[in-house]
Chains A and B, each alone.
Chain A
Amino acid sequence: MKRIKPWKMILLVTMVLSVFTACSNQGDDASNATSSTNGEATDNLAPPDPLGKYPKLVTVTEVLGYNAPEDSRTPKGIKPEENAYFKDLKEMMNIEVKYKWTVPSSQYDQKFALAMASGDLPDILELDPKNFEKLKSQDMLADLTDAYKQYGSPVLKEYMESDDGFAMKTFESEGKQLAIPSFEDPFLSAQLLWIRKDWLDNLNLQAPKTMDELEKVAEAFVKNDPDQNGKDDTYGIAAQKSLFFWGFDLRGFFNGFGAYPSMGDAQSAWIKDTEGKLIPGLIQPEVKNALGKLQSWYQNGILDKEFALKDENKSVEDITAGKVGISYGEWWYPNWPLNLNMDKDPKANWIAVQIPGMEGPGKTLVSKIRIGKLFAVNKKSKNPEAAIKLINFYIEMGKKQYRDKNQSANGYVYNWFNPRITDPAQIDTIYTEVNKALEAKQQEITLDDGNYKDTADVFKATTDYLAGDTSNASKGVNWGQYFSRAAKDGGWGMTRQLKENKAFVNNEFYGIPTASQVDKGTQLDKLMQESFTKIIMGAPLDEFDKFVASWKSLGGDQITQEVNEWYTKEAK
């Protein structure tokens, strides 16, 4: 007996100790690393040349959330660390990128939280605004002000100033630039109405301009066998269980009623009232009107009886299968999933129109700023300017002179390369350049800057589509490229029109979620989803008033106050 007890104790103590030291390790790590950086930070400095080569090899660490390579011509089984960009990078700048880890993008948040918790962050950080805020508050981000000024290439600076520095300013703190944002044109998320032209023609109907016309068209699409297959197998308008989402949802429909409930981020949208205050779009009376209409549409079969159990994949199936011919959606619909429908049914033909409103085309809801992700540098990093140089490098590689080399087939996987900043106005550049080349009947586009590659790809698909050439890709895929980005009456073409006609309303709130939004957001979202779905499926319309009361008392009022505090402080 007595002989056993001591070793058990020893074992226990060592185990417990090892666990404790394990947990406290991270603190030490941090202090070690900072002290070692100061020593050698200076001896590797190159003169401020955006594309210059370091005299000595500089290694920077990154992490990567990746999607599969887009192009099927990419070499089989290639790994992120084998990306061909890295070879050029080493030759051109003498920089080597090492991945601490790579993970499928759907798991990136999870893995990044673990990295933060274990104090194991890379040099270059790809962040969302929330994580940016966290790292900022812990003072873990390097000041990029000088690095950007000295090393930022003219093209990069041009990109950043394209919105008068609005996006850059969002990530500045006490005069320090802490991140370089990758932002896009906010109109990329403006909704249009997509509609099957061949069905309209079959039934001798015009594309709808008002809500009443839309109702008539949708009713005809339900009852009059628009696909002429002799079967009652179609419904009117695509909808799914999330009423406000990133696609196949009903944001545009609500907008048509002058209602601006949400951008699809499970929060209310915020619009300016007459006194210049922000009010939650979600609880305005226009929303009630829109819900009333949806209720009657559910009744008479314009909405699918089971829309409430569909997700985006199911909606895509319905569109592809030709079960539905009307869907609210953004400019990119032709790219996916309309192209699938085109390939399945050679007769299918989709057009885009501005969203129908009460008395004519309605105004769509658009955010003020559209930030995908941002790039920051770990304070412990020895070469913060390397991040800027990497951005320069990527923009440079898009130029015409690298076109022959820079092909997926050669192992260049662009969507694995970070930090990657593209022209915020790229979509517009593509649109104008391709149209210019088409009108002048050129064989090639004339542009030569960082947008070359993407523009050339769209131009190729466009000419292939117009010539009926399907040797490179299917008709649907070529059409998708053409009709989303280049066609004047296509996705981006129509979006440009609504931009020019000022047919939009801004969502005025673009800060990070306020304290109450974080605390109460989930509850409020559940409340909204439950009430709205039930109303559409036949609950009394006055349930909406109850919803508004609950929404306010369960935290909505508090959020409204916080959002307005932010507004007075930040936005003016």
Chain B
Amino acid sequence: MRTLKKEYLLHLMLIPGVIVTLIYAYGPMAGLVMAFQQFEPLSGFFKSKFVGLDNFRYVFQLPDFGQVLWNTVIISVIKMVLFLIVPLVLALLLNEVTKQWFSRIIQSAVFLPFFLSWTVLGGIIIELFSLNGAVNGLLTNIGFKPIMFMLDNQWFRGIIIGSDVWKGMGYNMIVMLAVIIGINSTLYEAAEIDGAGRWKQMVHITLPSMAPILILLAVLSLGSILNAGFEQILIMYNPTVYEGADVIDTFVYRLGMFSQQFGPAAAVGLFKSVISLVLVSSTYYAAYKYNGYRIF
């Protein structure tokens, strides 16, 4: 009885969130029927013709779909890994900075590129890596031949990945810093009395304390395995690197340019959702089963 009363309050606290989510997140999901329709805005969801799995078939049979899917996965997996490692290393290094003012300046600076849109940054990056750009200037100065970075499939992928990590690393870094700050400092004091150096403290205290958040970030990032960064690639790519950098989202975007093809776009969206849900929930249960850890 006592617990029931207490749980009642917990339910009550959830009401506002549930309402908002029901209306604005579940409400629009009715629109997923578009994936099975030859959707026509003028006719709406009720009068548009149902075409079964035609939209899926149409997209999957397109000649480049395999290549595009592969590009998407490879780019996003590398981004995913780097988005965990780079901010982690940054946060750990920052944690070793003893001067507060220096640490704060770095934190602010690293977060800055996050505020600029790809429309603005894309141009700057293309310029940086062009033949007359700063990077090639540096290369020729130290005796290398200039490289056409943006017209080479391998280099281009690297630049796409690198620049995205550079732009977004501040975000995860701040999450990780917040965790590091929250670690009970008596642990460090005890370790220091035991004679553990900074390295050992990091390995035995900092990293284990961060494990939950690292698992969380890793699992959730799996949800975006089919998002390789639409806006960025759209702004930076060119015909010579379609082969290595055309991804699902840019592909669908171009599909929609001739005439707004809502059906195929919705089909791809649904496909992506299902894949991420499967990946995330299976890793969720794996983490729970082998580690006893619940992510949500």
> Are both chains from one complex?
yes
Residue numbers of A with Cβ under 8 A of B are 1, 3-4, 11-12, 15-16, 18-20, 22-24, 26-27, 109, 113-114, 116-117, 119, 130, 134-135, 138, 140, 241, 266, 305-306, 308-309, 313, 513, 517-519, 521-523, 525-526, 529-530, 532-534, 537, 554
**Contacts A266-B257, A308-B239, A526-B254 given; 10 further ones with Cβ under 8 A?**
A4-B11, A23-B30, A23-B46, A135-B42, A305-B131, A306-B148, A306-B151, A309-B126, A517-B258, A523-B63
Residue numbers of B with Cβ under 8 A of A are 4, 8, 11, 15, 18-19, 22-23, 26-27, 30, 40-46, 58, 62-64, 123, 126, 130-131, 148, 150-151, 238-240, 242-243, 246, 254-255, 257-261
CB atoms of B130 and A20 under 8 A apart: no
Alpha-carbon gap, A522 to B253, bound state (A): 10
CB atoms of B22 and A529 under 8 A apart: no
Contacts A26-B44, A533-B240; A113 near B19 (Cβ below 8 A): no
Minimum C-beta distance from A119 to chain B (A): 7
What are some 24 contacts across the A-B interface (CB < 8 A)?
A: A1-B4, A4-B8, A4-B11, A11-B15, A15-B22, A15-B26, A16-B22, A18-B27, A113-B41, A116-B41, A116-B42, A119-B44, A134-B42, A306-B131, A308-B239, A308-B240, A517-B258, A521-B258, A522-B257, A522-B258, A526-B246, A526-B254, A530-B243, A537-B240
Most chain B CB atoms below 10 A, which of A24, A521, A522, A554 = A522
Minimum C-beta distance from B126 to chain A (A): 6
Most chain A CB atoms below 10 A, which of B44, B45, B254 = B44
Minimum C-beta distance from B239 to chain A (A): 4
In the complex, the chain B residue whose C-beta lies closest to that of A18 is B23
Chain B residues, CB < 8 A from A109: 260
Alpha-carbon gap, A532 to B239, bound state (A): 9
CB atoms of B258 and A513 under 8 A apart: yes
Chain A residues, CB < 8 A from B40: 134
Minimum C-beta distance from A517 to chain B (A): 7
Chain A residues, CB < 8 A from B46: 23-24, 27
Q: Chain A's interface: helix, strand, loop or mixed, by majority?
A: helix
Chain A residues, CB < 8 A from B44: 23, 26-27, 117, 119
Alpha-carbon gap, A534 to B41, bound state (A): 39
CB atoms of B19 and A11 under 8 A apart: yes
Most chain A CB atoms below 10 A, which of B8, B22, B41, B150 = B41
Contacts A19-B27, A119-B44; A241 near B259 (Cβ below 8 A): no
Chain B residues, CB < 8 A from A526: 64, 239, 242, 246, 254
CB atoms of B238 and A23 under 8 A apart: no
CB atoms of A12 and B257 under 8 A apart: no
Alpha-carbon gap, A130 to B257, bound state (A): 12
Minimum C-beta distance from A531 to chain B (A): 9
In the complex, the chain A residue whose C-beta lies closest to that of B23 is A15
CB atoms of A533 and B258 under 8 A apart: no
With beta carbons under 8 angstroms apart, the residue of A12, A119, A130, A241 that contacts B22 is: A12
CB atoms of B23 and A19 under 8 A apart: yes
Minimum C-beta distance from A134 to chain B (A): 6
Chain A residues, CB < 8 A from B4: 1
CB atoms of A23 and B45 under 8 A apart: yes
Minimum C-beta distance from B122 to chain A (A): 10
CB atoms of A309 and B258 under 8 A apart: no
Alpha-carbon gap, A22 to B44, bound state (A): 12
CB atoms of B239 and A533 under 8 A apart: yes
In the complex, the chain B residue whose C-beta lies closest to that of A304 is B131
Alpha-carbon gap, A113 to B34, bound state (A): 15
CB atoms of B64 and A241 under 8 A apart: no
Alpha-carbon gap, A150 to B18, bound state (A): 58
Instruction: Please name the 9 residue pairs, one residue from A and one from B, whose CB atoms are nearest each other, closest first.
Output: A117-B41, A529-B239, A116-B41, A19-B27, A15-B22, A533-B239, A309-B150, A241-B238, A521-B258
Chain A residues, CB < 8 A from B259: 130, 513, 518
Contacts A1-B4, A11-B19; A22 near B240 (Cβ below 8 A): no
In the complex, the chain A residue whose C-beta lies closest to that of B44 is A26
Chain A residues, CB < 8 A from B11: 4
Chain B residues, CB < 8 A from A308: 151, 238-240
Minimum C-beta distance from B106 to chain A (A): 32
Chain B residues, CB < 8 A from A305: 131, 148
In the complex, the chain B residue whose C-beta lies closest to that of A110 is B260
CB atoms of A530 and B258 under 8 A apart: no
Chain A residues, CB < 8 A from B30: 19-20, 23
Minimum C-beta distance from B124 to chain A (A): 13
Chain B residues, CB < 8 A from A27: 44, 46
Chain B residues, CB < 8 A from A519: 58
Alpha-carbon gap, A124 to B210, bound state (A): 60
Alpha-carbon gap, A96 to B123, bound state (A): 44
In the complex, the chain A residue whose C-beta lies closest to that of B21 is A15
In the complex, the chain B residue whose C-beta lies closest to that of A135 is B42
Alpha-carbon gap, A526 to B261, bound state (A): 17
Chain A residues, CB < 8 A from B123: 313
CB atoms of A241 and B239 under 8 A apart: yes
Alpha-carbon gap, A534 to B26, bound state (A): 47
Chain A residues, CB < 8 A from B261: 518
Alpha-carbon gap, A266 to B58, bound state (A): 21
Chain A residues, CB < 8 A from B255: 522
CB atoms of A523 and B240 under 8 A apart: no
In the complex, the chain B residue whose C-beta lies closest to that of A323 is B132
Chain B residues, CB < 8 A from A513: 258-259
Alpha-carbon gap, A3 to B15, bound state (A): 15
Alpha-carbon gap, A329 to B255, bound state (A): 28
Minimum C-beta distance from B16 to chain A (A): 12
Chain B residues, CB < 8 A from A16: 22
CB atoms of A554 and B258 under 8 A apart: no
Chain A residues, CB < 8 A from B242: 526, 529-530
Alpha-carbon gap, A533 to B150, bound state (A): 14
Most chain A CB atoms below 10 A, which of B130, B239, B240 = B239
CB atoms of B22 and A138 under 8 A apart: no
